[in-house]
Amino acid sequence: MSDKYTQFVSHGLGRDIAKRLGLPQPVVLRRHQPGRPLIDGPVLVQGSTRGADSLAAALLGWNLDVRRHAIPKEKLGAIILVLDELAHPADLEKPVLTAATSLRDLAPNARIITVSRTAASTPEPATAAARQGVDGLLRSLAKELRAGATGNGILLADGAGTTSPGTLGAMQFFLSGRSAFVDGQFLTVSSAAGRLPGDAGKPLAGKVAVVTGAARGIGAAIARTLYRDGATLILVDIPAAGDHLAEVANEVRGTALQLDISRDDAGQRIIEHALTRHGRLDIVIHNAGITRDKLLANMDAARWNAVITVNIAAQLRINEALLASEHLPDAPRIVSVASTSGIAGNRGQTNYAASKAGVIGMVRATAPLIGGRGGSINAVAPGFIETDMTARIPFATREVARRLNSLQQGGRPGDVAEAVAFLASDAAGGISGEVLRVCGQNLVGA
């Protein structure tokens, strides 16, 4: 469903009216388009550490217009603030306030990206304080940005550096239009695993991927994005959605598997289908999910159990089958679709929020298990996304929900799909056990 308000106030008379009346002024976001530059405008890399020098050199290798010092009033496409050697909160002052002088020079849809180390990886209280301070700094700054600009952070664990594959992969994602609706978020690079694709246009070439709940909405968008990125697809949905599933499968030249994922043998059925048709299975996207909303006071066992069974119990069984299989290749990738309801809660969705919070717990606990096979598992947590389901929300409620994030608009199914595709790629191989919110930085809740 289109957001006519955003279209109206993005330019000309509509923008002037919104400004005079003090109304929200969302802009049309810069989203990924094949052949478009990674970022529009110069990239300012600020930081005096060896890590900053190495990162700047790597970005030059991408043919970006890299600056190490700001030129007054030059419009910038991005500011990358490298804070990888913080030892005390006092160390934040100089680099942060220096970067602040360039904030007014950001172009529309610009990017702010911090690169720092995890607080948990140091026993020193002062160092941990400084590193954790970057969290509050970045999330607050992201709420100050305007004109479609976003702020996100990359955290380095002990096994990662500023030019590790996962760091550079996350940098590409955050700089690009693929992260248009990701704002105020952090990704932790926990190891030096992974690799950047040789063909940036087809990062999933040669991979076989399964997408559940693929007949419509976000699932169909994920299928189209993975196909664009070169993956061979197996699309799964319930028999009742067979016609829609076949349409999407034909569109992406994949195969359709009509299957209720709540079946005890669903994991084995998926593995057998993949091996029979393609001889391998590299990527599993757990997208299938349902809602049965009721206030808890009015909740019955049927509604509760249906949501838990489909949204989390089915994923657990399928993952168990995958990890037990002898046929899973090296470096498998699993991505689950969670929800911001599982992080912040939502009225009338105790069952749904419990299931999606369960997905997050599952991902974090499974990461070390799949890591032993060189693989990764992560989750994407969408916020308000423009789908057929949200189109049925009453008009006033829908408009409020659209504006309650830093970008003041709803996301698109493709925004979720872009995040899923990145986490399914080898570029994200050093990232595991993470939950990436695709919510425009919701202003309420956790």
142 and 67 within one domain? yes
End-of-domain residue from the set 160, 189, 218: 189
134 and 227 within one domain? no
Domain assignment present for 7: no
To the query of whether residue 227 is one of the catalytic residues in this protein, the response is: no
CA distances from 442 to 6, 144, 384 (A): 17, 13, 9
One of 352, 423, 435, 440 is an active-site residue; which one?
Answer: 352
Give the predicted TM-score (pTM) of the model.
Answer: 0.94
pLDDT one-digit tens code per residue, 114-158: 999 999 999 999 999 999 999 999 999 999 999 999 999 999 999
220 and 178 within one domain? no
Q: Exposure of 292 by Cβ count < 10 A (0-12 exposed, 13-18 middle, 19+ buried)?
A: middle
- Rounded CA-CA distance 168/159 in Å is 14
- Residue 307: the pLDDT is 97
- Rounded CA-CA distance 39/118 in Å is 27
| CA-based torsion, 267, 268, 270, 271: positive or negative | positive
Residue 424, φ and ψ in degrees, nearest 5:
-85, -10
137 and 48 within one domain? yes
pLDDT one-digit tens code per residue, 86-111: 999 999 999 999 999 999 999 999 99
CA distances from 165 to 174, 191, 196 (A): 14, 9, 6
213 and 330 within one domain? yes
Domain assignment present for 289: yes
Domain assignment present for 13: no
Can you give the residue range of the structural domain that contains 78? 31-189
- Residue 445: the pLDDT is 56
End-of-domain residue from the set 155, 189, 223: 189
215 and 181 within one domain? no
* Residues 6 or more apart whose Cβ sits within 8 Å of residue 298: none
145 and 76 within one domain? yes
How many distinct structural domains can be found in the chain? 2
Domain assignment present for 25: no
326 and 184 within one domain? no
* Residues 6 or more apart whose Cβ sits within 8 Å of residue 199: 205, 230
271 and 125 within one domain? no
Domain assignment present for 17: no
- Rounded CA-CA distance 402/440 in Å is 10
Domain assignment present for 69: yes
153 and 59 within one domain? yes
- Low-confidence spans in the chain with pLDDT less than 50: none
Domain assignment present for 3: no
CATH number at residue 184: 3.40.50.720
- Residue 389: the pLDDT is 73
Domain assignment present for 168: yes
- The two three-digit tokens of residue 310, written as one number: 């489909």
- Residue 34: the pLDDT is 87
Q: Around 45, how many Cα atoms within 13 Å sit in the side-chain half-sphere?
A: 23
353 and 225 within one domain? yes
264 and 330 within one domain? yes
